[in-house]
Each structure stands twice: as structure tokens, then as C-alpha cells.
Structure 1
Amino acid sequence: MDARIEQVVTSGKLTLDDTEYDVENNTYIVGDDDEVIVIDPAFDAEAILEKVGEREVMAVLLTDGNEHRLSVVLEVAAAGEEDEENWAPIALHRADRLLWRDYFGRLAREEEDEDDAKALRSLEPDIWLEDGGVFEIADVQLEIVQTPGHTPGSVCVISEQLGVLFSGDTLHRGRPGSIGGAFEDLRKQLNSIGALLDPLPRDLQVMPAQGDETTAGEENARWESWGDMAREDTD
């Protein structure tokens, strides 16, 4: 098996509900010497594409539809190709379609050229992710698991061959994932995390979109203790 995982750390500011947060993001590049899939690009497309190099980007997977991902996703999908027909497909869960439409709709309203504005309004992901869907790259499979809560369409990506879970902002080391400590629907997110972790091998590596790596066993052991956070979040 020639597949490998490479990581690019980028940082920037993200505004949610009129509050600005400083965010550091892990982008993962999965593939071999010829082809890759990019998971969760954010903030700095140039740094990500520098790591990709001359390899072909076969798909760009977004584990949620928050703005820091959408702001670079077209540039990463294009990977220097001017002809849109040669761009890599962008994949997002349909439940985050509103986040997508809000972001590109806002760009369209700021665009002076009406043709460009129309193009932005008509943009859609090329692939709607579904629970159980599978992508293949370099002879390994990447399986999609829907984990709503952080956003309605949040997903995680599991590769049994690589022994890894890409947990996006659903799950971080030692805590449920968040942007600046703010949660969209923590109860639903915790339910998703519990259902996700319970059947997984305890030594499975967890690679989140923020922070350090961990294992499924470590986070499964912590999961019940997070219930107090959910109660406080609803009080």
C-alpha cells in the first residue's frame, strides 16, 4: 500500500454569529505520488497546494460547510487548472447546503460583474456526501460517516486500511469539537460522537481538524464526562 497521509496546518480568523475567532486548521492530504484527496482545506490554499505539488487532486472533501473551508475550496479544487472541467469535484453533505448558499450568495452580492455574480449564485458542490459513501484513493477506501451537531451536515471520514479517523470539527482531542468553544447543537454532537466511537477499534488514530491527534479509545473513555457540558449549554 503506497497511500500516505500528509498534514498542512493553516490559521486565520472565522466569524460565526457576529463573533470573530482565531482558528488553526489541520488539512489532510491522502494519496500517493500521483493522486490525492484533500480533506478540509482552510485559510491558505497556496500552502495546501504547495504540499500537493504536481499530484492530481481527485476530490476535495469538506467535513462541514463553515466559511473557512468554503473560502479556499474553489482554489484547491482548481489546483492551478484554468478549465473548470478539469477541476476536482467538491464534496459536502447536503444538510450544510444552506451554509454553502449563504457564503457564495454573500460573495455574489459583493460582485460587481453580473455574470460573475450569477455564476457564484449557481455554484453547488459536485458531490453530496452520504452516510456510508466511499471514496477510493491509492488503493485505500475513505468511508463517510454523518455526525451532525457541529453543523447539520458534519461528517467524519474513516479509513480502515490507514487505521485513521478524520474527525473534522466534530471531535477534537479531549473534547467535542468547536469553534472558539461555541457549539451549534452540543447534545446532537455528543450523540453523534458516541455512536461514532463505540464500534471503533480503541487504537484507531483520530486526526481532527484542530489540535493534536488522539485515539478512539481515549476519546470514548472521556465521552460520558462531556454530558455536563451539554446540560450547561442548554441552561
Structure 2
Amino acid sequence: MSEWDAEFEVESESDEDPDFGPHGDARIDHAVASGTFTLDGQTFDVENNIWVVGDDAECVVIDAPHDVTEILEVIANRRVIAILCTHGHDDHVRYAPDLGLATDARVLLHPDDLPVWRLTHRAPPSGSLHDHQVIPIADVDLRVIHTPGHTPGSVCFYAEEFPGYPAGVVFTGDTLFEGGPGATGRSFSDHDQILESIRTKLLTLPDATVVKTGHGPDTTIGAERDNV
């Protein structure tokens, strides 16, 4: 076990990590990157959302698709605390190791998605994400919600309190979109499981919670209740 994994094993008991911390007003920066997604012998053109959460000094990056240069432009001169992977599909993690090297940041993935990660990368990520883990950045807490279904280790990141979002905000990767659940029917996915994850872990959030997805536009929890 790496020092980073050991640190998270200890801190997951108290749901905090001292390596992260508040440094100012949080904001969400966004860009869209174009590229491809490959699985089960098929390749698709996709556009991915890049989410950077932090303040003027520090940030975390949620997923690292397609283009390191574009992500670095969003980061600007801030210190990157960690690269948080919503899941292990190549269109979300292809450039995570390169971005980690460029920013001296750790790449974190739920361990249940290591088999998916290994379809793209030989070396493992720097550390793990765990259900209920809390990642403080700027003046907000991002809580990890394990939402298996799209992949076994898919996670969402939920901030109950966030400046400009009165009912909070959740970053759902490919678990929940405008229009309903993420895709299943390919390797590592489970349709019944993604429905269970959304119904028991996401639809319990307030209706006005803003949903920021891995692809496409924002939605809200309330808007998706009838789509699940």
C-alpha cells in the first residue's frame, strides 16, 4: 500500500483529509474537450466536460479527457491538489497520468474501477477514492458518493454547500445526465445497478441540486426524477 493509500485509509474513518484545506471562495471552471471513447472494439467521437473546482490558489480537476493543454489553460497558475476520476473509461482518464506529472498532483480512482483503468494504463493511479470520503477544497467539501453501474467504481462528487448554488451541486460523471442514467450494456456495466445507485444515492439529494455531468448540459436532481 502506498503512503497516499494508507493516509486515506486512516482519514476515511473521520471523512477528512488534512492534505486538502480551505483557502478562499470556491468556484467552478468549465471547458469542453473533444476526442474518442473506445471500449469493446468500438470507438466513438465524444465531447467531455472538464470541471475544475477551487479558488485562485488551489483546485482539483474532475476527470482528465483528451487534451492536457486545454486542462492546463483552465487550471492557469493554481496548484492542483488532486485529479479526481469519476470512473475509469479512457475518455475520462486517458490523460490523467500526464496531467498528474505536469502538475505534480495525485490521480485518485475508486479501486473497483482498476480493471477498467488497466484497459488504458499499465501503472495504477496514485491513490484511491472511497464512499463518504470528504475532500475539502477552497471553502467547500466535496463528498465522494460511490455510484456503481456505469462502471463498478463510478463515483460522484457532491458539495452540499457551494457559493452560487443554494441547493448544492453534484458532479456525476457518466452516472446521471440530462435525460436519465448513463449508458450500460457494455463491459463492466450493469443497468439494474446504475438505477439502484441513482435512486438510493442521488435522488435523495434536494430537487434543486445542480447536476454537472461528464458530457452535455447541466440538469437538476428534480428534473431527472421521472427519467430514472
User: Would you say the 8 A contact 2:40–2:186 is kept in 1?
Assistant: no
- How far 1:182 sits from its partner (Å)? 5.5
Percent pairwise identity: 42
Structure 2 residues without counterparts, runs of 5 or longer = 1-23, 163-167
Distance 1:160 1:96 in 2: 25
Runs of 4+ in 1 over 6 A off after TM superposition: none
The alignment of Structure 1 onto Structure 2 pairs a total of residues equal to: 199
Distance 1:214 1:185 in 2: 23
Counting helix residues as a fraction of each chain, which structure ranks higher? 1
Q: Which residue of 1 aligns with 2:16?
A: none
Instruction: Tell me the alpha carbon deviations over residues 74-105 of structure 1, each in whole angstroms, 9 at most, x when there is no partner.
Output: 122223x5xxxxx1111100001112233223
Q: Does 1:177 align with 2:182?
A: yes
Q: Radius of gyration: which is bigger? A: 1
- How far 1:11 sits from its partner (Å)? 1.1
User: Would you say the 8 A contact 1:45–1:76 is kept in 2?
Assistant: yes
Q: Which residue of 1 aligns with 2:135?
A: 135
TM (norm. structure 2) is 0.83
User: Would you say the 8 A contact 1:197–1:220 is kept in 2?
Assistant: no
TM (norm. structure 1) is 0.80
Distance 1:38 1:89 in 2: 10
| RMSD value, Cα | 1.6
* 1:186 counterpart (187, 191, 194): 191
Q: Which residue of 2 aligns with 1:95?
A: 112
Instruction: Tell me the alpha carbon deviations over residues 53-74 of structure 1, each in whole angstroms, 9 at most, x when there is no partner.
Output: 1111100000001112222001
Q: Which residue of 2 aligns with 1:30?
A: 53
- How far 1:186 sits from its partner (Å)? 1.1
Q: Secondary structure at the match of 1:20?
A: strand
Structure 1 residues without counterparts, runs of 5 or longer = 82-86, 106-122, 224-235
Matches within 5 A, 1:57-76: 57-76=80-99
Q: Secondary structure at the match of 1:15?
A: strand
